[in-house]
Structure 1
Amino acid sequence: MTRLTDADYARAEQMLAPHRARHVPGSTVTPQWLNGGTRFWYRVGTRYVVADPAAGTRREAFDHARLAAALSLASGHAVEAADLPFAAIEFPDRDGTQDAVRFSAFGSRWEWSDHTGTCTRVDEAQPGPLEFPSPDGTWIAFRRDGNVWVRSRDGGEEFALTDDAQPHHDYGCLPDAMSARMAMRSFGLEPPFQAVWSPDSTRLLVHRLDQRGLAEQVLVESSPPGGGRPVEHRFRYPIPGDEAQATMSWTVLDVATRRVVRQQDEPATIVHPSAVVYAWWSGEKGDAVHFLRQSRDARTLELRRLDPDTGETATLVSETGKTRVDPTAQLGEPPMVHVLGSGEILWWSQRDGWGHLYLYSADARTPTQVTSGQWLVRKVLWVDQADRQVWFLASGLDDDPYVRRLCRIGLDGTGFTQLTDDDHDHDAVSPPEGGYLVDRPSTPAVPPRTRVLGGDGQVLIELEAPHTARLEALGWAPPERFRATAADGRTPIYGLLWRPHGFDPERRYPVIDHIYPGPQIHRADPSFNAPLNGGPEALAALGFAVVAVDGRGTAGRSKAFHELSYGDLGYAGALDDHVTAIRELGHRYPWLDTDRVGITGHSAGGFATARALLAHPDFYKVGVAVAGNHDNRINLTMWAEHYHGDGDLEELSNPALAANLRGKLLLIHGELDDNAHPYQTLRLVDALIAADADFDMLIVPGAEHAFLRRGHYLVRRTWDYFVRHLHGTEPPAYRLAPLPPPADPG
């Protein structure tokens, strides 16, 4: 094999996600709504743009050159129009126009007016990264010592709305076990705070979390900043089967009267942070609060109404299943539950084996199925209550079951219309009040061509049409979307295949399986901006063929497809499906060397990586397992109790298979990983030592689950490991620069 050079590593470095995004400006348009959504602004590269769908216009948000000159003069700092040092951007609405922009720069708050051509300092209290401004801009809510506080935007007032917080029984926080405390600390931030303002800016909805009585866990920081003795970090961390779990209840806080209204029924068990965001105000002023409540085993999902004046609750919809009942197709997506002004409830359910919409009458007793068929609704975009229609994204209508299309249907189930029929995956959003859609269709080869669509799918504005020329100049080629057959011999499964840079069909290339097995999501999106892209492209730049496969047991298709991993979470993502698919690709493409197959993944992907080498030792030869949850008996409660059910937890343990190791395995973990603890890896290490097996390990001091400050180091060590043991050559001495933060929207 030809030895890789510094130049090869440098090209691979440019494929990593933060760099990749900057090589395709305009590929990520994130609308920021103005005037209730009648207009919006977004950033593309270094430019700021405002779109007005009603007028059909797209224009620069302001004169970038004039603003840069004025800010340079006012601040005393040199400012370039192509690199405006903006943060916390706002567009104040004055008489229905966006004539001004406010922003933070050089430690001050500024306002620029295109009309006057002036840039002046503004004396106002700016929300911090974990603070929430009220919709009218009058108040800022924040958390202090576990209590909820507010201060006026003009800085004239500041006071507490609660005063009874106690250690491990406080307001607005996330469970220790999934709050990313160590990651927040690496940026100098406190743990996350969550609260929701009422539409009229008079009240706050906040949860109170009770973690008292939960089992405590300790992480040791070996090399604290400034030196000195190692430091212990203690937090509450329940595991599957523990009787004590975190609980939460809702509280409504009135800013003017400082009245506290508490939920009157029993607190709910919470094993995942989604529970704290599955709540919203209803009505123009906030006449009611609605929230979702899931049982500890996730087999019951309820929609409840909370009276913000009394704290009384009522259950409106309750659905129970033999396995997990979800409000979305994938964990982390917005719940597809909408309470209409009529009192009717639009509800998403997999009760017929697919994910469809149901309309409950105001008494919540007579549901009518709105959508049906062997496909699923993926996201509700816009409900027009006057014309009784709903716009949504659906998948399964295409030959590829993961491709999403824009659709519309009447709330009575009639008039189903597909508004898009191309082969692109449509990722769309709509403003809170609806009226139009911002559509971002793409394929793995074609970046999103963003446009504004009307309700009939007609194009109102063309926004961005990015290209990949800069990526291609670096050697990038798009992945191939493929279909293969699962290990059962009949189920079609899908994935992506990246060819090596400088591809020569006469050569034979080692293969790397880039895995995340779910079960809460699927891995191989048919879109350009798939969440885990970047890593596979970098490995392809180093001369590897790379595959990503969605095996059975992952989300995004039928309930039956997903349920294959229920009761057998160790099967999530179906490793035997991966083996079968890669072998099938090897027959299809002789240039794939399926005698040299490696695998890598992070978190659940780390678990699957070690599992692959232990369960399929004759197939997988090299693995790099990062932050793996190798023993789910001591992992976060949710994974076993929600996705494994009553199955034997011994089946979720990689250490039980340690004696099977024959390939080369590198285990990487951060010592301050407060999600999947480093003890997960060390338990596997203990079992490997007991089995007298050879392996490699890297424990990264100070690193948390995402390796935010040390990511470049583990990436380079991963590359080196595959180059040395799969490519068969010694890696170059190249060193990666610290990874930049993700690109700003655009």
Structure 2
Amino acid sequence: MHRNPLDVQAYRTAERLLRHHRKELVLGDKVTPRWIEDGARFWYTANTAAGKRYVLVDPKAGTRQDAFDHERLAVALAAASGQDVDAAALPLPAIQPTADAVEFDAFGEHWRCRLTDYVCEKAEGDAPGNPLEAAAPDRKHAVYRAGHDLRARSLDGTRDWALTSDGTEDLDYGANPDYLMYSTLLTKLGLPHLPPAVAWSPDSTRVLTHRTDQRGVRRTHLVRAAPADGGDPTLLSPRFPVPGDERIPLAEFVVLDVTTGSVTTARAEPVAMSMMSPIFQKWAWWAEDGSAVYYLSRTRDAHTLSLHRLDPASGAVRTVLTETGPTRVEPAQQQLQPPMVKVLAGGSEVLWYSQRDGWGHLYLFGAETGELLAQVTSGPWGVQEILHVDERERVVYFLASGLVEEDPYRRSVCRAGLDGSGFTRLTDDDLDHAVTVAQNGAYFIDSASTTGTAPVITVRDWTGRVLVELERADITRLEEAGWSRPERFRVTSADGKTDIYGLLYLPHGFDPSRRYPVLDTPYGLPTASRVSPSFDPGYYGYEAEALAALGFVVIAVDGQGSPGRDKAFHDASYGNLGDACGLTDHVAALRELAATRPWMDLDRVGVTGMSSGGYAAARALLRHPDVFSVGVAESGMHDFRHLEPGLAEAYHGPFDAEAYAALSNAESADRLSGKLLLIHGGLDDRVPPQVTLRLAERLIAHGKDFELVVVPDADHIYFGYEHYVTQRKWDFLVRHLLNAEPPADYRLPPVPIDMEALAELFG
């Protein structure tokens, strides 16, 4: 088949729109605060047309100013260090402002620069943080792993001692499940494992951790086919349970006293943790006064959620609250979101999130009796995040969605009394509000935007009053790159009655007289929404913007079964994971959109996704071959029978061989009629490559034509190989859906490592 070559400029523009270039195209769209004086002030870095600036903010005074004179500091640091220093890109990972100076690390040294005369001198400073340690709040000690045990050391280097000594491979301390603890991604970053899962007590004398019990947990096997040293292939055999297994990783809580050496073990059943440590997931925490530890546990079928109180001195455990439901009971709709549970009044009350009335709301319970004291919030909308509880005024501040008629996913900052009275929207506009609360709880940073409206970032007090404006995002460069605002649409779902929402991206150079192929970009699990309600499109949204630059109409849909709405909407996925969060709704959306948009060519519809989106992409071709004709599935979760059990058992139901077989894409391999590209990393320890290879084997057995790319040393997200995988995907879609030939000799360059992002990841 003859194909016309695609203009190379399309690839250049698409590359420019990829996630790692965003900071160059959008200025002033993010504020990551670094707290000073317990949050009374903070500093942050701002991307500006003049380069990176360090900004100091005093909310009480209502001031925002440069933390120092960047040009003078660059000259002073260059003179003192003998290194070239660019004022627009100062090499300072962090700063410590004082009254008349600023301290920082640069070029392997700690420096102090006087702001009176801008003289930089070497100075004594804290040692750089170690990503393998967990430092105490008072910065005097840190805990780290040694073998299968935990040790503590004083940060001044004077002492190092054992906290435990009986750890073994199957019963070790502070460990996450293997796929996370010893991730192949960590190995590429030069780290042997994650830091220990510990939570320091507020007074820095004790740590909460757990003994990780992985006795009898099954192992999976990965082959490092191309070791960096050129040697023979090596076998990796991480523990990896699957649905229906009797043995899964368990966490037995332990409190270690760093000062006395005492070990207190919780006198209760261990909690299941097939996915992540409950400490990492913030399902376990200290009371503010250090008198108790609280933790959540959930039955394996996820139908019962309980809150427990652990006495750190005796190990005694008491169940405070329990809620049971016909489907999953969860402390927040988004899986990795911190739980919306707060223990108040010195331990006598509990603020508890529940969907018992069909919407996600807050309830106040007595902690001693379990008696319901008040339903704090109510109505046809949902609480999305607890921001702050003012116990003296007896009010709670929170984010809620469903209050903006135009878009039920947009979040508003609200307030309500703990007795259920006085509900108020503090942000009474129709924007989406993403909020960061100050360390001392005295104010919050508010980023207000929509999918098509760039952010304005301010500091507000708890009346909603703006104390100081921080940033107004500048998207001039983004628009110059060809970006246009996506259309936020509302259509009717496949059931003919439910509203569903999504985004539509127009192809660059859009001409309504032409017809364009359409690409769907799904997320296939009920653990997170596909579309962000804010201007930042999120991980998958950046790719959608780039694909539009190649000449596709691109859509993203949150179908029934995804979170962010009412309980019934979310529960549409329960027992129905095979619909990949509403693929039938995606089909309905495509048809309704095309009915009024004749430039959408429904004879050329493709689909692409990664992880659960990879499952959804292949699923779309197999279950809806009359609609989807081309697909790319990266790291696809094609068979839940061979994945970790926490997802499927909570979101589909307890293991049943017949029901789980129906979820498998391999079992529907005979239905493939379109063009399919399967991509998987050979060292993917999150979704082992065998699930894609099993699908490939069944496709071969049925004589199906497809393409398979295995990236031998790649992990789940293709770290270090993103450019190669992205190009293979683009080339495939351009050939088979756009019916064009990719530009010859054009190669995407490797994605640079984002050191700031890694610093965020590891604290």
Distance 1:195 1:148, change over 3 A: same
CA distance in 1, matches of 2:117, 2:38: 26
After TM superposition, the structure 1 = structure 2 runs for residues 243-262 of structure 1, keeping only pairs within 5 Å, are 243-262=246-265
Q: CA distance change for structure 1 residues 363 and 116 in 2, over 3 Å: closer, same or farther?
A: farther
Residue matched to 2:752? 740
Aligned length: 741
CA apart distance, 1:572:
3.1
Other-structure match for 2:138: 136
For the residues of structure 2 that align with 1:67 and 1:254, how far apart are their CA atoms?
Answer: 44
Contact 1:245 1:269 survives alignment (8 Å): yes
- Distance in 2, matches of 1:469 and 1:136, equals 44
1:76 matched to 2:86? The reply is no
Amino acid paired to 1:724: R
Query: Which residue of 2 is the match for residue 376 of structure 1?
Result: 382
Tell whether 2:233 aligns with 1:200.
no
Structure 1 residue 586, shift from structure 2 partner:
0.6
Q: Is the 8 A contact 1:217 1:237 kept in 2?
A: yes
2:559 pairs with 1:522: no
Matches within 5 A, 1:489-508: 489-508=496-515
Question: What is aligned with 1:86?
Answer: 92
Match for residue 225 of structure 1 among 221, 224, 228? 228
Please say if residues 41 and 61 of structure 1, whose CA atoms lie closer than 8 Å, have aligned partners that are also in contact: yes
Contact 1:43 1:744 in 2 (8 A): no
- Partner SS state of residue 103, structure 1: strand
- TM-score norm. by structure 1 comes to 0.96
Matches within 5 A, 1:50-199: 50-87=56-93, 89=94, 91=96, 99-115=100-116, 117=118, 118-122=120-124, 124-179=126-181, 181-193=183-195, 194-199=197-202
Matches within 5 A, 1:326-365: 326-342=330-346, 343-365=348-370
> Structure 1 191/102 Cα, relative in aligned 2: closer, same or farther at 3 Å?
farther
- Counterpart of 1:643 in structure 2 is 651
Question: Cα–Cα, structure 1 residues 579 and 742, in superposed 2: closer, same or farther, change >3 Å?
Answer: farther
| Aligned with residue 429 of structure 2, among 422, 432, 444 | 422
Q: Is the 8 A contact 2:409 2:565 kept in 1?
A: yes
8 Å Cα contact 1:551/1:574 also seen in 2: yes
Residues 16, 535 of structure 1: 8 Å contact kept: yes
Q: Is the 8 A contact 1:381 1:430 kept in 2?
A: yes
1 CA distance for matches of 2:114 and 2:552? Answer: 52
Could you tell me which runs of 5 or more consecutive residues in structure 1 were left unpaired when the two chains were aligned: none
Corresponding position: 1:576 with 2:578: no
**Match of 1:290?**
294
**Compared CA separation, residues 335 and 90, structure 1 to 2 (3 A):** farther
1:311 matched to 2:315: yes
Structure 2, unaligned runs of 5 or more: none
How far 1:211 sits from its partner (Å)?
1.1
| Equivalent of 2:461 in 438, 454, 461 | 454
Taking the TM superposition and a 5 Å limit, the aligned residue runs for 1:373-412 are 373-399=379-405, 400-412=407-419
Q: Is the 8 A contact 2:182 2:192 kept in 1?
A: no
Distance of 1:258 and 1:68 partners within structure 2 = 48
Write out aligned runs for 1:526-605 (5 A): 526-531=533-538, 532-605=540-613
Confirm or deny: 8 A CA contact 1:518 1:555 kept in the other structure.
Answer: no
SS of equivalent to 1:188: coil
1:438 maps to which of 429, 442, 445 = 445
Q: Does 1:654 align with 2:665?
A: yes
Structure 1 residue 274: Cα displacement:
5.6
Q: Distance in 1 between matches of 2:618 and 2:104?
A: 47
Provide the rounded CA distance (Å) in 2 between the counterparts of 1:204 and 1:174: 16
Alpha carbons 1:176, 1:237 under 8 Å: kept: yes
Matches of 2:700 and 2:285 in 1, distance apart?
55
Q: What SS class does the counterpart of residue 528 from structure 2 fall into?
A: coil
Say which SS state the counterpart of residue 187 (structure 2) adopts. helix
1:513 paired with 2:508, answer no
CA distance in 2, matches of 1:480, 1:744: 32
- C-alpha displacement at 1:28, in angstroms? 1.5
CA contact (8 A) 1:21 1:743 kept: no
Corresponding residue SS for 1:141 = strand
Partners of 1:725 and 1:281 lie apart in 2 by 52
Deviations 1:433-481 (A, max 9, x none): 3221111111112222110111111111100001210011111111110
Q: Aligned partners of 1:321 and 1:100: how far apart in 2?
A: 57
- Cα distance, 1:600–1:408 mapped onto 2, change above 3 Å: same
Cα distance, 1:210–1:274 mapped onto 2, change above 3 Å? closer
Distance 2:328 2:188 in 1: 35
Query: Conserved in 1, the CA contact under 8 Å of 2:199 and 2:279?
Result: no
Structure 2 CA distance, aligned partners of 1:197 and 1:284? 11
Find the aligned partners of 1:101 and 1:166 in 2 and give their Cα distance: 46
1:390-430 CA-to-partner distances (Å, cap 9, x unmatched) read 11100011122111111111111111001122221111121
Structure 1 residue 103 displacement after superposition: 3.5
C-alpha distance after superposition, 1:706-731 (max 9, x if no partner): 11110111001111001000000110
Query: How far 1:245 sits from its partner (Å)?
Result: 0.7
Relative to 1, partners in 2 of residues 1:292 and 1:407: Cα closer, same or farther, differing over 3 Å?
same
SS of alignment partner, residue 737 of structure 2: helix
Moved more, 293-302 or 451-460: 293-302
Identity %: 49
1:150 is displaced (CA, Å) by 2.2
Match of 1:664 in 2: 675
Question: SS at the partner of 1:10?
Answer: helix
Query: In 2, distance between residues paired with 1:164 and 1:103?
Result: 40
Q: What SS does the aligned partner of 1:427 have?
A: strand
The residue that corresponds to 1:33 in the other structure is 35
Q: Which amino acid aligns with 2:355?
A: Q
The Cα of 1:184 is off from its aligned counterpart by: 0.9
- After TM superposition, the structure 1 stretch with the greater mean CA deviation from structure 2, 34-43 or 552-561, is 34-43
Partner AA of 2:666 in structure 1: P
Q: CA deviation at 1:318?
A: 0.9
Aligned amino acid, residue 524 of structure 1: V
Within 5 Å, which residues of 2 pair with 1:450-489?
Answer: 450-489=457-496
Provide the C-alpha distance between the structure 2 equivalents of 1:407 and 1:113, rounded to a whole number of angstroms: 43
Q: Is the 8 A contact 2:221 2:238 kept in 1?
A: yes
Question: In 2, are the aligned partners of 1:39 and 1:51 still within 8 Å (CA)?
Answer: yes
Please tell me whether the aligned partners of residues 679 and 708 of structure 2 are also in contact (alpha carbons under 8 angstroms): yes
Aligned residue for 1:345, secondary structure, equals strand
Match of 1:237 in 2: 240
TM-superposed deviation, 1:341: 2.8
Cα distance in 2 for partners of 1:293, 1:430 equals 27
User: Cα gap change, 1:179/1:607 in structure 2, threshold over 3 Å: closer, same or farther?
Assistant: farther
Task: Compute the displacement of 1:71 (Å).
Answer: 2.5
Residue 235 of structure 1: SS of its match in structure 2? coil
- Opposite residue 182 of structure 1, the aligned amino acid is T
| Separation in 2, partners of 1:624, 1:248 | 38
Contact 2:199 2:286 in 1 (8 A): no
Q: Is the Cα–Cα contact under 8 Å of residues 344 and 364 in structure 1 kept in the other structure?
A: no
Q: Distance in 1 between matches of 2:249 and 2:117?
A: 55
